[in-house]
Amino acid sequence: MSAKAIVTYLSLGILPILSAEAQQAVPDAKYDEPHRLQYHFSPPKGWMNDPNGMVYYQGEYHLFYQHYPDKNVWGPMHWGHAISKNLTHWKNLPIGLYPDSLGYIFSGSAVVDWKNTSGFGKNNKPPLVAMFTYHNMAGEKAGAIDFQTQGIAYSNDNGRTWIKYAQNPVIKNPGIRDFRDPKVTWDEQHQQWLVTLAVQDHAEIWTSKNLKDWKLACSFGKEWGNHGGVWECPDFFQLSTPEGKKWVLIININPGAPNGGSGTQYFLGDFDGKNFILDESIKPYIQNNQGLWMDYGRDNYAGVTWSDVPQKDGRRILIGWMSNWQYAQKVPTEAWRSAATLPRALSLQKTTQGYRLISEPVKELQALRVPQKSFVLSQAKTLTSESWTPKLGFKPTLSELEIEFEKPRSGKVSLVFSNTKGEKYSIGYDSESNQFFSDRSQAGDHSFSKEFFEKIDIAPRFTENNTVKLHLFVDVASAELFADNGKTVMTDIFFPSENFNQFSIQSTEAGVKVKTLKIWSLKKTW
């Protein structure tokens, strides 16, 4: 049954019953269209935005996502579904959650209810429980403000099929227009469930013992962080430090990001079971509409983390939506729109300014390297001219690059990817401003949106180390930079008329010393 048919039924107040064939159908996808990413997740067809319902269970990473299967623009929201055993190769599964009479299925999360606190489990196996926002479009169009509520669903077959709770919604709307995006977390210390909600210009934390009955514990944020737009897609979790665990609150915001449009800020503190207490050390950096940012590129939004990754793994892994609401519905793709970022492992590292959130590509990505197609600089090289083109022996269309160079006295060092059409993408470091930059001004088509290129994106450097480290992943239409071991991150998309297949290092002054350079061609995963 198509999404259009479902919406027709809903308009008549009828709940559609899907056939077994419809529940199991996964649309065909070629994954070879122009601009289709080759080692990132993207939907088989149609529209995609926020990652949802991310949970690890019995060897599978579940990735649900905001999805409209019938068109390549935003529409009636479903939860698309894919799974992976290694965070690199994904298998598309049937749509997980369809709209119903309570509304579209907006963003949310999922957990393993190990202790069966909900009572949804069967045969001594814990259920998977998803929590999501119902968005009643009819109510919104009628001018109501209470059209967003929170519902739950559960699965007893490893997330393949879901049963919506008969007494939804479990959290009713208190009379607030933006009241959404529940992120569920188990609070081990206080033996309770937490759900963090985005509420216009702040976050709310609610508590429960059974995932069905919820009580408001606290609100946070009206006076802290960036308020250039609506707060969305929160996450709330703990990370370890040598001084003990800290709670991390992630808040996505649209608009208000450092380089324009959609972005992700974060806060650090403690949680006493009822209240989130902000760290004193970060208060000077998040006052007066300022924020701490996870990614300074234009295209990492709505990122949230997987729940229930095994303790022996110990990682908190995040994935985001690789686009920006300024132009997401206009980018020049047809069969599908949007993709996910690479998964990133999050950690806290102490700096001279206090603890900061570090993002690094997950180690599983190393399995994509092609040993026969790699380049390793045998010894340090001093650039004697403004441009050096290493003889790679392969095309860097899908590639991973690691480079270390001495901080130049002045000028820029650029990593330049280009094609035979004269298009190029440049990313690198500017020593005079002590900033990283990402320049897609000549990287292909940007006629579809005046916001797509307004200026060169910039990002601060957070270390005084004399060695600059860049770790870069390039796919056919994206670049993700992890600089200085993940202290600064930039994610950007672009749309060249043909794939970038040439690489050079350019410097505005001679004498820059390249200490190490490693480049790998990467395997396709689709």
Decide: helix, strand or coil at residue 470: strand
Pick the catalytic residue: 28, 32, 50, 457? 50
Residue 26, both tokens: 């996964």
How far is 368 from 84, CA to CA, in rounded Å?
15
Q: Give the count of alpha carbons within 13 A of 364, CB side only.
A: 18
Q: Which residues contact 435 (CB under 8 A, 6 or more apart)?
A: 429, 458, 459, 460, 461
Residue 469, both tokens: 């480290």
How far is 397 from 523, CA to CA, in rounded Å?
11
Q: What's phi and psi for 403, nearest 5 deg?
A: -140, 145
How far is 179 from 230, CA to CA, in rounded Å?
11
How far is 229 from 289, CA to CA, in rounded Å?
11
Instruction: Taking the CA atoms of 72, 73, 78 and 82 in sequence, report the sign of the dihedral they define.
Output: positive
Q: Give the count of alpha carbons within 13 A of 80, CB side only.
A: 28
Number of Cβ within 10 Å of residue 87's Cβ equals 21
Q: What's phi and psi for 365, nearest 5 deg?
A: -65, -20
Q: Are 444 and 423 in contact (CB under 8 A)?
A: yes
50 catalytic, yes or no? yes
For 306-386, strand residue ranges (E) read 316-321, 336-337, 344-351, 354-361, 369-376, 381-382
How far is 76 from 68, CA to CA, in rounded Å?
6
Which residues are known to be catalytic? 50
